Amino acid sequence: MSVNGCHGDGPAGRTTYRSPLAARYASPEMSFLFSDAHKFQTWRLLWLFLAEAEQKLGLPITDEQIEEMRVNLDNIDYSVAAEEEKRLRHDVMAHVHTFGRCCPKAAGIIHLGATSCYVGDNTDLITLKKAFDLLLPKVARVISRLADFATEHANLPTLGFTHFQPAQLTTVGKRCCLWIQDLCMDLERLTRARDDLRFRGVKGTTGTQASFLQLFEGDHQKVEELDRMVTERAGFQRAFLITGQTYTRKVDIEVLSVLASLGASVHKISTDIRLLASLKELEEPFEKQQIGSSAMPYKRNPMRCERCCSLARHLMTLIMDPLQTASVQWLERTLDDSANRRLCLAEAFLTADTILNTLQNISEGLVVYPKVIERRIRQELPFMATENIIMAMVKAGSSRQVERFLKEEVRPLLKSYESQMDVKVELNL
């Protein structure tokens, strides 16, 4: 039986589920950050950083052991690791053993004094930082493209809408600035979230560094220096002073909060474009060979904006995962965070990456239809003039109370006149 419409290389890719975020939407660079290859290579890199620092601080680790680890950072036998994890029921120890097979001389000092969260949590923090580094330029590019569009159409009048009802005039460029302002706020918040990330560091099983104090025979200064050295090698300026077994899961809340906020901005922008496309005033890029509908070929569906809205909704809902996870981390830690975080952190960044890539494509090819805009303005112009008339009356000494005066004073008088004279006054007050 053939399986159609699936993505992936080889039979396994066609007959097993793969997340559309990785298989269909997100960039290769973002997908790689959340791949097994990046994860386990980073684990090995962290084990190398730890061994190098422990050696410099006096533990009996040889240059030969360090070099053996270094040359085997990317030499990962995933089949061996899978066998070890099936046997041990522990992913970190499975990879400790797998790394040890590549480095028989260094096997005894790999992961020395560390707990699983040394590689697990620190790798997550490194990945989050790199993921922000991928997103930030994409937000900036979208802002830049929209700024070009806003400049080009800064003086093109268009009908403004409140409650999606005709209001007063604005310009196409001014409306675009509403979108830009939201994205500028997102850029600031994303940058701040990235810069606020701290390394978990070298903290031991419950955050007390007890195992490292034992290794260094109670020398607190050396343990603190070990933490500082590894943090610096990992590319962080700061580490948490206080942790349980994990870094506080409040960090995940902060990270997904700014991504959810970005999702709200992209959804609003995309929805606005969809509404304007329905009015035929503005349109996203539409390729020459693109098919709008299989049954209605005249249609020009805003499918890119619709995709942005669809994925942005998913991104916005993901914030509930870290909120609930952080709230139920008993005492120093519980493991019910693990499986949930494997899903929500990766999906949040892959989704954010996708909607930014798509929004950039949209912003680079927006099409404006000035004649349609002009026709709609002319249709509404008589109604828009009422505000100017009221302002002129105010300047002339009248007030906004005219309407009340007409209803409360004039209407009763006319009603009385109609009754007395037996005539109908055709005045709608």
The identity of residue 225, as a single letter, is E
3-state secondary structure of 239: strand
**Spatial separation of the C-alpha atoms in residues 159 and 382, rounded to whole Å:** 13
Host H or E run for residue 368: strand 367-368
- The CA distance from 386 to 254, in Å, is 48
Residue type, position 88, single letter:
L
Reported as type and span, the H/E element at residue 283 is: strand 282-283
Query: In terms of Cα–Cα distance, which of 217, 202, 200, 247 is closest to 51?
Result: 202
Instruction: Record the tokens describing residue 342, joined without a space.
Output: 């494997």
CB 312 within 8 A of CB 267: yes
Which of 144, 278, 293, 310 is an active site residue? 293
Angle 70-75-81 (CA atoms, 0-180°, nearest 5)? Answer: 120
**Burial category of 18 from C-beta neighbours within 10 Å (exposed 0-12, middle 13-18, buried 19 and up):** middle
**By three-state DSSP, how is residue 367 classified?**
strand
Q: Residue 343 corresponds to which tokens in the numbers above?
A: 């899903």
Of the residues 2, 79, 163, 419, which is catalytic? 163
Looking up tokens 């005492």 gives: 331
DSSP codes of every residue in 156-189? -EEEEEETTEEEEEEEHHHHHHHHHHHHHHHHHH
Q: DSSP secondary structure string, 94-113?
A: HHHHHHHHH-TTTGGGTTTT
> Angle at CA 174, nearest 5°, toward 172 and 180?
110
DSSP, residue by residue, 135-148: HHHHHHHHHHHHHH
What SS3 class is residue 199?
Answer: strand
155 contact partners, CB below 8 Å, separation of at least 6: 171, 173
Is 157 within 8 Å of 60 (Cβ atoms)? no
Q: Is 293 a catalytic residue?
A: yes
**Total number of residues shown for the chain:** 429
Q: What is the DSSP letter of 8?
A: S
Active site residue 111: no
Tokens of 381: 């112009």
- Catalytically active residues are 163, 293
